[in-house]
Amino acid sequence: MASRVSEQHIDPWQLIAEHQAAHRQNGQFGAAASFIGTMRDFSERQNLSKMTLEHYPAMTGQYLEKLEQEAREQWPLQDCLIVHRVGDIYPGDAIVIIACWSAHRRAALDACNWLIEELKYRAPFWKQEFNPEGAHWVEENTNGHSSN
């Protein structure tokens, strides 16, 4: 199991490369799929300068583990990495990393897609955006299972 929350800045490419080097043996996996969510400086509001990600610490830890477990039950994954930021985040910063490794491409791609959509729908994180007009809570995520 490799799912966690980070209060510190994360470098997604470095984390994925380090995880693969530490846990996967060359020749044993045929596919790696990843999703990296990054903060923009716009949403429904413009000129965002910062975002604060709040979470429900005890529940998020449990939920990320549960999502990884459910993905492993649905697809023949060899490995999985989920890291989600909390705290203050700035435009260009990574918010979330999901990476899946499998023997064949379909399992890694489908599991990665399912994990990000489930995470956005179920894991207890909340975004508060800041721009020159003040602070605003993001009210809901778009439904990526059927659109976007």
Q: Are strands 3-6 and 77-85 parallel, antiparallel or unpaired?
A: parallel
Count other Cβ atoms within 10 Å, centred on residue 7.
10
Asked if 90 touches other proteins (CB under 8 A), the answer is no
| Under 8 Å between Cβ of 97 and 18 | no
Shortest distance (Å) from residue 18 CB to other proteins = 22
Residue 48 sits at the vertex; the CA angle it makes with 146 and 52, to the nearest 5 degrees, is 80
- The residue within the footprint of other proteins, chosen from 12, 79, 83, 84 (CB under 8 A), is 84
Asked if 42 touches other proteins (CB under 8 A), the answer is no
Task: Write the CB contacts of 30 (distance below 8 Å, at least 6 apart in sequence).
Answer: 102, 103, 104, 105
Contact region for other proteins (CB under 8 A) — 15-23, 25-33, 105-113, 116-124? 116-124
| Under 8 Å between Cβ of 100 and 121 | no
Asked if 83 touches other proteins (CB under 8 A), the answer is no
- The residue within the footprint of other proteins, chosen from 21, 40, 44, 58 (CB under 8 A), is 58
- The residue within the footprint of other proteins, chosen from 44, 73, 133, 139 (CB under 8 A), is 139
Q: Report the interface residues with other proteins, using CB under 8 A.
A: 37, 53-56, 58-59, 62, 84, 95-96, 116, 119-128, 137-141
